[in-house]
Structure 1
Amino acid sequence: MIYTVTLNPAVDYVVTLDTFTPGAVNRTKSEAVVFGGKGVNVSLMLKALKTESTALGFIAGFTGEVIRAGVEASGVRCDFIALESGISRINVKLHAGEETEINGSGPEIPPEKLEFFFAQLHALKETDTLVLSGSAPRSLPQDIYARIAQCAAEKRARLVVDASGALLTSTLPYHPFLVKPNREELSALFGEPADTDEAVLALAGKLQAQGAQNVLVSMAGDGALLRTAEGAVYRAPAAKGTVVNSVGAGDSMVGGFLAGYEKSGDFAEALALGTAAGGATAFSVGIAGFQKIMAIHESVRAGVQRIG
């Protein structure tokens, strides 16, 4: 079973306007409500690609119940932990010529609820995959990602990490199966440019030297690069289409990659499906569906090359 962790899930309110004027009354052109958080997005993409998963994390208040109901209505199994106080976040995604995000903070997670969460993780098995993605709420310990990674390692579960900065690096001693920084996160992590394939691959190698097994780097319009534990290097072209909403595209890449790898055990196929899934979501409001992904999958797949 694949388990996804979203420590701070959200309701995303996506609004589109022709123009936006601060300090004035603005009228929306279109509106959509999307149930999100990075791990939830991965689960939704896995479901779209006919791969089962269970979504873990914390929810609170009326927004938390809306998130649970919405995710379950999409066919994803949820095992969220309900908190007694606070509300799950509402994030505003504003599109008016450019993307602007206003993200909520979310509820505080008390120690006893965190211990219940770790009890869930102690049920992991060697055949399971744990996807750890997104930011951590301020109420949680700073070493929360390391503690989760350690638990996965002790259970010999496959660990996938999509995070930035210290959250990512704290998991590396536990040898995650896959890490997925984007190019900007990779550059910021080492304070070095990542503006060429060679530079990206060199920094990916540094992550491997610190413990990562396979490194998948998303590069928006420049496609994606994958450096495997065996030293093979694959490159995928970007999917072709009009970007509608980039929120969730990186999560969709993770979900597509895992779905492809679960079915084939082949890195090239996993990279192709991951890149197609990420692109399809970028061309959609919310997580893309199966038909939209498959419509661009073959063209991406044909462009995947082993370059090293």
Structure 2
Amino acid sequence: MVYTITCNPSLDYGVTVENFQMGHTNRTVTEQMNVGGKGINVSIVLKHLGIPTKILGFTAGFTGREIEKRIKEQEIEAEWIWLPQGDSRINVKLLSNEGTEINGQGPAISKREVQELEEKLGVLTKEDVLVLAGNVQKSLGQTFYADIMKKLKDRQIRTVVDASGELLKAVLPYHPFLIKPNQDELEGLFQVKMSTKEEMFAYAKQLQKMGACSVLISLGGNGALLLTEHGEQMQLDAPKGKVRNAVGAGDSMVAGFLAGYMEHASYEEAFQMAVAAGSASAFSEHLATRAEIEQILPLLLDSYQIQ
């Protein structure tokens, strides 16, 4: 079972506006409301790929009830911890001449509610995978993921972390199975600009020395890089296609990687599934389905490189 944690789920209100103008009344051309949150996105794509998954998270207020309802409608197993104060956030995704996001802060989480989450994690075994994805509320602090991994360190649970900055750096001593920085996040960790793939692999090796097992670097339209725990360096170009919605593409990469690895026990298969899933979601207005991912897989083989 793949468990995903989403500390700060949301309702994402996506609108398209032609020639958006600040300070004026603008009319939408299209609008949609989706459940958001990186861990939730990972679980949705895993469900599409037939991998057993369960969402753990915190919800609050009328928006929290709607999040719970929509996840239940998708028939994804979930356990929510109810917060007595505040409302789960609403994020605004504006697409016009360029994309703009306005993300809410989300409700505070107390120590008692964190303990409740830890109790739910008590059922995990070495057969399970835990995905820790996304930023967390200020009330949880930048060691929140590391604190979870510290408590689980003797349980041999594979952990995937998709976070940035101090939140990511703090987990490295606990040897996450996979981390997935994008180029900006990798540059931010080391406070340097990287212009070549060789540089990125060099810094990925630094992350391994700091404790990470495998490092998956997403490069958007330029594809992805993977440094495996065995030192193999893999590269894939992104397939050609029209990007319709990049939200959730990185989360889809995580889901694709896990599905490929769990089905084939192969880093090559996992890497190819990761890039195919990320691309399929980017080329669609929704999170990728298995059929969409399988359609893209054959397009990747020409660019595949391994060292």
Q: Does structure 2 retain, via aligned residues, the 8 Å contact 1:184–1:194?
A: no
Equivalent residue for 1:109? 109
Structure 2 partner of 1:143: 143
Listed as ranges, the matches of 1:39-50 within 5 Å are 39-50=39-50
Please give the residue correspondences for 1:1-308 in structure 2 after superposition, counting only pairs within 5 Å: 1-306=1-306, 308=307
Kindly provide the CA deviation profile for residues 43-63 of structure 1, in whole angstroms up to 9, marking residues without a partner as x. 011011111100011011111
Per the TM alignment, residue 198 of structure 1 is displaced from its structure 2 partner at its CA by 0.2
Q: Identity of paired residues, percent?
A: 46
Given that 2:6 and 2:39 are in contact with CA atoms closer than 8 Å, whether structure 1 keeps it comes out as: yes
Residue range with higher mean Cα deviation, 173-182 or 107-116: 107-116
- How far does residue 302 in structure 1 lie from its aligned partner after superposition? 4.5
CA 302–73 in structure 1, closer or farther in 2 if over 3 Å, else same:
farther
Q: Structure 2 stretches of 5 or more lacking a match?
A: none
Which deviates further from its counterpart, 142-151 or 262-271?
Answer: 142-151
**How many Å separate the matches in 2 of 1:15 and 1:24?**
16
Q: CA deviation at 1:72?
A: 2.1
Q: Which amino acid in 1 is paired with 2:230?
A: E
Does the 8 Å CA contact 1:46/1:255 hold for their aligned counterparts? Answer: yes
**Offset of 1:137 from its aligned partner?**
0.4
Distance in 2 between residues matched to 1:280 and 1:44, nearest whole Å: 14
Q: Secondary structure at the match of 2:277?
A: helix
Distance between the aligned counterparts of 1:32 and 1:133, measured in 2? 24
Q: Which runs of 5+ in 1 are unaligned?
A: none
Match of 1:122, SS? Answer: helix
Normalised by the length of structure 1, the TM-score is: 0.97
* Alpha carbons of structure 1 residues 256 and 301: separation in structure 2 relative to 1, 3 Å: farther
Aligned length: 307
TM-score normalised according to structure 2 size: 0.97
One-letter identity of the residue aligned with 1:15 = V
Amino acid at match of 2:136: A
Q: Check whether the contact 2:142–2:166 (CA below 8 A) recurs between aligned residues.
A: no
Looking at structure 1, the residues matched to 140 and 126 of structure 2 have their Cα atoms a distance apart, in angstroms, of 27
Q: Provide Cα deviations, 1:21-75, integer angstroms capped at 9, x if missing partner.
A: 1111111111111111000010011011111100011011111111111122222
Q: Partner amino acid for 1:63?
A: T
Give the letter for the 1:34 counterpart: N
Q: Tell me how far apart the structure 2 counterparts of residues 69 and 259 of structure 1 sit (CA, whole Å).
A: 26
Contact 1:34 1:286 in 2 (8 A): no
Separation in 1, partners of 2:290, 2:125: 29
